[in-house]
């Protein structure tokens, strides 16, 4: 009897740890990226279980798992064509894979220190890569005026992130330009608007020495005055 009671208790514990009731939620990160994730049924603001961010509702750009609203285990990040470009282990806080061709025509990296061809330089790295990790820096911005009667297609924007040698977001600014409306303004926003995770990078290096760098993101302006780079 005690043996069976012990088995029942173990099963109940396993059910509590791994089988808590969850429901699926959806949220649009940008016009082109939709996230689908599990949340606790009794606590709908706590992510728990499988997470996917999907480009055009079908191509994964981020896949991983949450436990009690915390990223756990290995997460994979992809390009829009489905190719794996980055893998990160959140349990070990370690970048375990990044492809050498993780580039995008609209994203550029600048190292704020001169170096020669004989130096070994590495660019700054954002966990989540271009197609997922950089989304928060676009989502935080909106044009400071009503765009209802404005042709936002005539606007272009550039987001610039300054990354310190310590791997911290040191400065954030957005330049918005429109020749049609003779508009040219640069906005400087407080880096503290972002979460701790979004203020953290792997810094650029020259010969393994961390250095100051910038990530420059070319964007278009959406109809609601927000930004997107897809």
From first to last of the 230 residues of the chain, give the pLDDT tens digit.
444 333 333 434 444 444 568 899 999 998 889 999 999 988 889 999 999 999 988 899 999 999 999 999 999 999 888 889 999 999 999 999 988 655 567 899 999 999 998 999 999 999 998 889 999 999 999 999 999 999 999 999 999 999 999 999 999 999 999 999 999 999 999 999 899 999 999 999 999 999 999 999 999 999 999 999 86
Of the residues 31, 65, 100, which one is the last residue of a structural domain? 100
Q: Same structural domain for residues 110 and 91? A: no
3-class DSSP state of 26? strand
In a domain, 150, yes or no: yes
Give me the pLDDT at residue 22, please: 87
In a domain, 4, yes or no: no
In order of 58, 158, 188, 191, the CA distances from 176 in angstroms are 31, 7, 12, 18
Q: Same structural domain for residues 110 and 85? A: no
In a domain, 2, yes or no: no
Give me the pLDDT at residue 205, please: 96
Going by the DSSP 8-state scheme, the letter that residue 90 receives in this structure is T
Q: Same structural domain for residues 65 and 47? A: yes
In a domain, 197, yes or no: yes
Give me the pLDDT at residue 2, please: 44
Q: Same structural domain for residues 130 and 31? A: no
In a domain, 15, yes or no: no
In a domain, 5, yes or no: no
Burial of 124 (0-12, 13-18, 19+ CB in 10 A): buried
* Distance of alpha carbon 211 from the chain centroid: 22
In a domain, 213, yes or no: yes
Give me the pLDDT at residue 128, please: 94
Q: Same structural domain for residues 159 and 95? A: no
Q: Same structural domain for residues 124 and 228? A: yes
Give me the pLDDT at residue 81, please: 85
Of the residues 73, 100, 127, which one is the last residue of a structural domain? 100
Q: Same structural domain for residues 58 and 95? A: yes
In a domain, 14, yes or no: no
53 close to 62: Cβ distance less than 8 angstroms = yes
Q: Same structural domain for residues 128 and 226? A: yes
Q: How many domains does the chain have?
A: 2
Give me the pLDDT at residue 89, please: 97
Q: Same structural domain for residues 79 and 150? A: no
Longest dimension (CA), the chain: 83
Q: Same structural domain for residues 93 and 137? A: no
Q: Same structural domain for residues 96 and 107? A: no
Q: Same structural domain for residues 89 and 115? A: no
Give me the pLDDT at residue 20, please: 60
Task: Give residue 35's domain range.
Answer: 21-100
Of the residues 100, 122, 154, which one is the last residue of a structural domain? 100
What values do phi and psi take at 44, rounded to 5? -65, -10
């Amino acid at each position: 009897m005690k043996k069976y009671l012990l088995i029942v208790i173990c099963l109940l514990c396993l059910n509590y740890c791994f089988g808590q009731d969850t429901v699926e939620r959806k949220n649009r990160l940008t016009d082109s990226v939709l996230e689908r994730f599990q949340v606790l049924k009794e606590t709908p603001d706590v992510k728990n279980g499988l997470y996917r961010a999907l480009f055009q509702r079908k191509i994964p750009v981020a896949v991983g798992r949450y436990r009690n609203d915390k990223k756990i285990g290995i997460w994979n990040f992809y390009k829009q064509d489905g190719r794996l470009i980055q893998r990160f282990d959140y349990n070990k806080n370690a970048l375990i894979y990044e492809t050498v061709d993780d580039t995008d025509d609209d994203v550029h990296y600048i190292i704020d220190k001169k170096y020669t061809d004989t130096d070994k330089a590495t660019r700054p790295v954002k966990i989540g890569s271009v197609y997922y990790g950089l989304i928060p820096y676009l989502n935080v911005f909106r044009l400071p005026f009503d765009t209802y009667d404005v042709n936002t297609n005539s606007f272009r924007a550039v987001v610039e992130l300054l990354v310190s040698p310590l791997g911290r977001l040191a400065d954030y600014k957005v330049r918005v330009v429109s020749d049609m409306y003779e508009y040219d303004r640069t906005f400087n926003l407080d880096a503290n608007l972002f979460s701790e995770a979004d203020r953290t990078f792997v810094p650029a290096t020259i010969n393994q020495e961390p250095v100051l760098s910038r990530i420059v993101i070319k964007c278009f302006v959406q109809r609601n005055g927000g930004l997107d780079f897809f």
